[in-house]
Chains A and B, each alone.
Chain A
């Protein structure tokens, strides 16, 4: 679904060129959930925007759905760290926004929007304005918005990073449920999920890609051997802890300047 081939990105800053990404090569298969983990400033958000076609890399090649990326990629769902809902619109109208922006008739998506809101437990809040909702509920609405047009690719940029720990756990399970449930009638979505939380990455992903900062490079990639469906009990699996520790060691080892193990 996604092929990144030696992608590099250098910004022109006032203090001179800044290399944000170096030599990123990564392939994400259709239906795979891949987590990008790394400290702040490792360019993982930039990488996500490069995949979406919102920023152009200065080196390398990006293919999405077998086509080289030259501009914004259609059929992508995006979820950001903040819900960025339009606060003058009601929740349902917010979920319908992608249909309007892409020139489709929003009335045709009414049913799907309502169905998505029901899936995340917001059906009673469809007529509320975003500010009447809690942070977690707003992020659920943003997830519905990203899923409205049923995009095959979902790009998530620390979507639960601003939530408190309990809500975050809840949202992780919610995401897995939605990811699994929407897969009943259609092929499972490809998800690229940026986070700086190791447990979150391990709980969600099929594969965890560890990145290191300045310039952002891939230090290591780990397959997550945990069975699906995953839930609260997954954390008790000894493999969960073992893998989390290995990822942590890779992150900190590289922070001291050495190469990653793994």
Chain B
């Protein structure tokens, strides 16, 4: 659990000193040193990211629909959402910990909190950016509002939602790691905090490398899904 360097002498203890090649090699060695339980840490952080991403996506789309559906809801909700989005997440993370205790859930929520805003905005924009002529067409054929929503507005919004989810995917990574920074017993963020305490720079950088690999994988997966779900969109 604890990222030690196994009693070996500290390698490259001060960042920015020593031969760059050697430093890169020491990071690579640390990243592939499986006496550190990398799999467990990656798994925990990935779970937090995915959970946060899912919550941000679901809540963001739901709020976006509500805002697009009724101007009254929009007027009531948007200022509050802007307020929530401008809160520094690092500052509220300890509160989540107080309220929800240790574990995956608070970190998921921080990830969700960092990532939900673009989804709300893009969903609302995608639902309302409709040619008036198209809505007239719906009225001429006597289409009920839900049908216009389902057949015209929702598919129109899909590419907007998907591009917001790409932003959310990367933001959720940041959120999960921020949560782990504040307090956590496992996860890649915790590895970084502990490695810093021990001045073990290679392990800290190795954890960063793993975080970016997880982030790239998630971003790639969302991009692929977007291309599959909305092949008509120009991405």
Contacts and interface: CB of A to CB of B under 8 A. Distances in A.
Nearest to A146: B137
B142 A72 contact: yes
* Interface secondary structure of B, over-half rule: helix
A101 B141 contact: yes
A101 B232 contact: no
B133 A84 contact: yes
B152 interface: yes
B232 A131 contact: yes
A78 B138 contact: no
Contacts of A78: 133, 136-137, 140
Which interface residue of B134, B158, B230 has the most chain A CB atoms within 10 A?
B134
Q: How large is the interface on A (under 10, 10 to 19, 20 to 34, 35 or more residues)?
A: 20 to 34
A87 B148 CA distance: 15
Given A52-B140, A73-B140, A78-B137, A87 B232 contact: yes
Which interface residue of B136, B138, B140 has the most chain A CB atoms within 10 A?
B140
B18 interface: no
A86 B155 contact: yes
Contacts of B139: 54, 72
A54 B136 contact: yes
Contacts of A88: 155-156, 158, 230, 232
A72 B138 CA distance: 10
Q: How large is the interface on B (under 10, 10 to 19, 20 to 34, 35 or more residues)?
A: 20 to 34
* Interface secondary structure of A, over-half rule: loop
A98 B141 contact: yes
A86 B138 CA distance: 12
B133 A101 contact: no
Contacts of B232: 87-88, 129, 131
Nearest to A100: B151
A160 to B, nearest CB: 15
Contacts of B142: 72, 74, 101-103
Interface string B141-160: 11100011001100110100
Contacts of A101: 137-138, 141-143, 147-148, 151
Across the A-B interface, the 3 shortest Cβ-Cβ residue pairs: A101-B141, A101-B143, A102-B141
14 contacts: A52-B140, A54-B140, A72-B142, A73-B140, A82-B131, A84-B134, A87-B232, A89-B155, A97-B137, A98-B141, A101-B138, A101-B141, A101-B142, A103-B142
